[in-house]
Structure 1
Amino acid sequence: MTDLILTEDEYRQLVQCEDGKPTTDSLKVAEKFGKRHDNVLRSIDSLKCSKKFRLLNFEESSYINEQGKLQRMFTMTKDGYMYLVMGLTGKKAAIWKEAFIEAFNWMANELTFRSMSYEQRRNYLMLEYKQEKSLASFAGKTMRRWQLKKPVIEGKLLAIEQSGQHTLLLN
């Protein structure tokens, strides 16, 4: 499967913050999964979930289409999204399921970070800084090790290859 690497801006295009919670909508789901919006609406309408689950995770709203007409759509939570796309199959569906989940998680982390005090945010960022610095240092050390070992290993390989070559004795 091909990994889909998204930027923060692309995450923002998939999910938004509504009343302090990450949400997406039926238009985005239809677009990213290559489905017609009316089919996505029909799928939401026919979900076999409880009334409580539907009320908590799907909110009917509307938008104005290109022709200036009011059209219905749904805003949904991460749980609503997961319930809706659970049955979608195929390679493209798998890629976008994962991308939306990552976007929801990214938005939740952003909301958590913004609710932290100044000191908590500073400590969080300092921890991330130290972890990344340590990782970069480790990568540098392993790169140096490779620089030292590479010529030795290549030399040994060359010697083995040369000793393994059969020579023809010509008289």
Structure 2
Amino acid sequence: MNVLEKTITSLEVAEMVGRRHDQVLRDITKIKEHLTDHKSVASELFIDSTYEDTSGRELPCYLLTKRGCELYSTRMTGAKGTQFALAYIERFNEMETVIKEQSLKIPQSPQEALRLM
């Protein structure tokens, strides 16, 4: 993981749950519609984005925060829901570990930076 990310894409979610991406987009759109009274919350959980497909077209996708994944997973039942919950928990735990490791490497003051040189 070269670039530290704090979200996962709806494409990754589709792969994790074994569904087509258009189905995941539809699910997230419905969740956002249910949150019409909480639009600011919805925009913090599911961030509008795009990706480029193999033919170079720019297509819509969402970036899901950890809380967005949690909300999405509540809509799923059975084995797929459980597997998705485990997968996103592991992914975000991995991201948090990287964040902690990077913060330990960042000098907290100019004096500390000079000591590391």
Q: TM-score range by the shorter chain?
A: 0.7 to 0.9
Equivalent residue runs for 1:42-81 within 5 Å = 42-47=26-31, 48-49=34-35, 50-81=38-69
**Counterpart amino acid of residue 19 in structure 2:** K
Q: Who wins on radius of gyration, i.e. which is larger?
A: 1
User: Is the Cα contact below 8 Å between 2:17 and 2:83 reproduced in 1?
Assistant: no
Matched, 1:38 2:25: no
Provide the aligned length of Structure 1 versus Structure 2.
102
Q: Distance in 2 between matches of 1:69 and 1:60?
A: 16
TM-score, normalising length: structure 2: 0.76
Partner AA of 1:72 in structure 2: P
Alpha-carbon RMSD across the aligned residues, in angstroms, is 2.0
Cα contact 1:30–1:40 (8 A) shared by 2 = yes
Closer, same or farther in 2 for the Cα pair 1:65/1:117, shift >3 Å? closer
Identity %: 33
For 1:62-101, what aligned pairs fall within 5 Å after superposition? 62-101=50-89
**Would you identify which runs of 4 or more consecutive aligned residues in structure 1 move more than 6 Å?**
none
When the two structures are superposed, what TM-score results if normalisation uses the length of structure 1? Answer: 0.54
**Structure 1 contact 17–23 (Cα < 8 Å) conserved:** no
